[in-house]
Amino acid sequence: MSSRKRFAKKDWLDLALSCLAQEGGSGLTVEALCNAAARTRGSFYHHFADHDVFLKELFSEWKQRNTLDVADAIMQQPHDKRAKTLSDVANMLDQDLERAVRQFSQSNSIARRIVQDVDRIRTEFVVGLYRDAGLEDSLAREIAQLEYAAYVGSQIVWPDMNAQDRIRLDQRFASMVAKAFRRGAS
């Protein structure tokens, strides 16, 4: 009997997220994952009926960790700390993984549907923060869309930007929005 610990579904998902961040989509083949895990295809298929089921569970796990869990943690903060905490947490996420997920979703419909859902959830979450700060709905939505587009765009345009510089850039954006709001700009 082998003394190796059994490779659980969570282990496969953790490994796959790491491989995706490091290698892109080529790291998500069953062969590549089995090689990285030093496990058999049977071990993989014990947890996932097929590769599409695996992809759906993988990207759902990414959604849970990098969006739903983040939103839950932010909502535990006092109202006046939520936007800053969101900026800090979002900018500390693995940006290589975020980029790799988006890149993979360009050629995979399973990932694309989940990424589109994540984009909607994240944008609506930021809309809610701006509404809670007193902005009317349409302005809150426009600012949230601009802010989220800048967040995603900065991952692509400046892939090597460190977290502190991303946070500083995000704080500058928030400062500009606050200043415009105080002036009554529309």
Each residue's pLDDT, cut to its tens digit, for the chain (186 residues) gives 455 788 999 999 999 999 999 999 999 999 999 999 999 999 999 999 999 999 999 999 999 999 999 999 999 999 999 999 999 999 999 999 999 999 999 999 999 999 999 999 999 999 999 999 888 999 999 999 999 999 999 999 999 999 999 999 988 988 888 787 777 655
Residues of the chain with CATH 1.10.10.60: 7-48
Residue 18 CA: distances (Å) to CA of 37, 43, 69: 11, 18, 18
Residues of the chain with CATH 1.10.357: 59-183
CATH superfamily, with its number, for domain 7-48: Homeodomain-like (1.10.10.60)
Does the domain at 59-183 match CATH 1.10.3470? Answer given as no
Q: Do the Cβ atoms of 171 and 87 come closer than 8 Å?
A: yes
Which residues in 125-138 are b (16+ Cβ under 10 Å) and which e? bbbebbeebebeee
